[in-house]
Each structure stands twice: as C-alpha cells, then as structure tokens.
Amino acid sequence: MKTDIKSRQDIKILVDAFYGKVQTDPTIGYLFTKVANVNWEKHLPIMYDFWDNILFHSGNFEGNPMMKHRFLNQKSPLTETHFKHWNKLWKKTVDDLFEGPKASEVKIRAQSISKMMMNKVVK
Ligand code: HEM
C-alpha cells in the first residue's frame, strides 16, 4: 500500500531513487556524470531542499537552477528529448513509491518547471 509524500524523509527517498536511476540512464545520465561531473554528496541535499521548499514551503532552497542549467547547456546542448525523458523518469519514480495529493503535485510542478526551463535555457 503506497502512501503520500509526508515529510522531508520521504522527499529524500524519492530524490535518492530518482538520481540513482539518472546516474545510469542511457539518455540523460552522461549530462550528470560526464558533462557536469556532479558531486552527489553536495547535489542531493540541494535537491532535498528544493523539493522540500516546493511541497512544504520550508524556505531553505537558495540555489539558482536557471543559471546552472544554462551553464550546462553551454557545455553540452540540452534538448526537448532530454527534458521529456527527465520527466518520464521523475513520474515513474514518484508513481513507483508514492500516491496522493503531494505525489500528484510533485509531478505537476516538475512538469511546469521543466517547460519553463526548456523555454529559458534551450534556445
Ligand atoms: C534534461 C534535464 C536536466 C538535466 C540534464 C539536469 C542536470 C542538472 C545538473 C548537471 C545540475 C548541476 C549540478 C551541479 O553542478 O551542482 C542540475 C542542478 C539542478 N537541477 Fe537539473 N537537470 C535537468 C532538469 C531539471 C528539472 C526539470 C528540474 C526541476 C524540476 C531540475 C532541478 C534542478 C535544481 C533545483 C538544481 C540545483 C540548482 C542549484 O544548485 O542552484 N533540473 N541539474
């Protein structure tokens, strides 16, 4: 029986599962591991903060996603295919683990941020 995303601990479970898949993903994995060479110990807590702030208004996210993705796009072009795939993986990870209003919200928010990012970055 699945439950909804209820806490930062649940966000951690979701984010860890998602980036676990991302790291070996044939479509977008290389952008993280080869192009950006992400330091996961640093990146994952930033992502907990990001989603904690979106779902529970924790107010503890201080990053600049648009700048980071623009920089990434300059190093290696991001495409609509990348963003679509990112969302497919995100949705699947959420659906595999959680169910409820916050689980729906986290998918919808990712989709709209993704669209905005694509418009601002991939051009
Ligand atoms: C093809 C799609 C995407 C790729 C390849 C990608 C890749 C990356 C990479 C490489 C970083 C930088 C990590 C670092 O150097 O510290 C990053 C940061 C980040 N990404 Fe993405 N990303 C994608 C889509 C998204 C989407 C759709 C969202 C939000 C829904 C998102 C949210 C973030 C946030 C919040 C950060 C942290 C920004 C910061 O530290 O200021 N990303 N992403």
Q: How far is the CA of 70 from the centre of ligand 1 (A)?
A: 10
Atom 12 of ligand 1: nearest residue by CA position:
68
Q: With bands split at pLDDT 50, 70 and 90, how would you rate the model's confidence at 25?
A: very high
pLDDT given for residue 123 in this prediction:
64
Domains of the chain, with CATH numbers? 8-121 (1.10.490.10)
Q: What is the pLDDT of residues 34-69, one digit of tens each?
A: 999 999 999 999 999 999 999 999 999 988 999 999
CA dist 4 to 8, 9, 46, 51, 89, Å?
A: 12, 12, 22, 14, 18
Question: Is the confidence at residue 11, as pLDDT, over 80?
Answer: yes
Q: Which amino acid is at 65?
A: P
Question: Is 98 exposed, middle or buried (CB count within 10 Å of its CB: 0-12, 13-18, 19+)?
Answer: buried
pLDDT in tens, 59-102: 999 889 999 999 999 999 999 999 999 999 999 999 999 999 99
Choose among 5, 27, 20: nearest CA to 86: 27
Q: Is the CB of 83 under 6 A from ligand 1?
A: yes
